[in-house]
């Protein structure tokens, strides 16, 4: 591998994640291009099932005064890391998929009689709400965190960009450009945000930061 390929991660990495890249011979720049703020919420009605699409949604619920009450009800979620965070904090998880598109038909078929509490951010796709509406599933949506751009100008020359959300790409592009860098994306939705900007894109096999890093390391082996 070429010495000192410079990787920019558009979110700050955990120590072990950083070590993966450094041990593989990369130099690394990291910055949070997105600011996440938990929002308070009040339950509208008692649910029978909880729906989470991200770890940020779980973190916000864990801060809510009704968290002990909510732990009585089973959950379904998007993402293996979301599932782990729920289970580590005492929630029962019935099912998870890696993408909302995979979870939508399961909800329509297996959970259509539930009253679902859907915990989301201020920026979210319409996949699951549309699926629930089409199946006449009763659900209450709670916006439990805010996703805000926090753009930073990167003056160093970079070879690799790690992206973890469409909003992260939008934030990056407010003060930077994508030229010939190889872009590694956490999932297809994130990669779609690069349409028309670059074709130099690699998508992770799993929606985890670790898998994005693995794809990057393997690419340059």
- pLDDT (tens digit per residue) in 18-52: 999 999 999 999 999 999 999 999 999 999 999 99
pLDDT value, residue 4: 87
Is the predicted pLDDT of residue 91 greater than 80, yes or no?
yes
Is the predicted pLDDT of residue 195 greater than 70, yes or no?
yes
Give the neighbor-by-neighbor strand order of the sheet with 27-30: 27-30, 6-9, 160-163, 182-185, 201-203
- pLDDT (tens digit per residue) in 57-74: 999 999 999 999 999 999
Residues 6+ positions from 82 with CB-CB distance below 8 Å? 52, 53, 54, 55, 57, 58, 96
CA distance 4 to 218: 15
State if pTM tops 0.85.
yes
Is the predicted pLDDT of residue 88 greater than 90, yes or no?
yes
pLDDT value, residue 221: 86
Is the predicted pLDDT of residue 3 greater than 80, yes or no?
no
pLDDT value, residue 69: 97
Is the predicted pLDDT of residue 1 greater than 90, yes or no?
no
pLDDT value, residue 46: 97
pLDDT value, residue 24: 95
The mean of the pLDDT values for the chain is 96
């Amino acid at each position: 591998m070429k010495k000192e390929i410079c990787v920019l991660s558009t979110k700050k990495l955990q120590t072990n994640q950083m070590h993966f890249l450094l041990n593989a011979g990369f130099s690394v720049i990291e910055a949070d291009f997105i600011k996440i703020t938990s929002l308070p919420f009040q339950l509208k009605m008692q649910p029978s099932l909880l729906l989470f699409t991200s770890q940020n949604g779980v973190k916000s619920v864990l801060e809510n005064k009704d968290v002990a009450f909510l732990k009585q009800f089973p959950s379904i979620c998007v993402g293996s890391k979301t599932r782990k965070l729920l289970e580590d904090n005492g929630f029962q998880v019935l099912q998870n998929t890696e993408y909302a598109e995979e979870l939508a038909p399961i909800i329509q078929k297996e959970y259509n009689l539930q009253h679902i509490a859907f915990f989301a951010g201020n920026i979210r796709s319409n996949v699951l709400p549309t699926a629930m509406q089409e199946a006449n599933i009763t659900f209450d949506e709670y916006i439990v965190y805010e996703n805000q751009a926090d753009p930073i100008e990167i003056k160093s020359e970079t070879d690799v960009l790690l992206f973890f959300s469409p909003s992260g790409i939008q934030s990056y592009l407010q003060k930077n450009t994508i030229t010939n860098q190889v872009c590694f994306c956490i999932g297809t939705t994130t990669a779609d945000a690069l349409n028309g900007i670059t074709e130099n894109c690699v998508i992770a096999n799993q929606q985890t930061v670790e898998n994005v890093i693995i794809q990057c390391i393997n690419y340059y082996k």
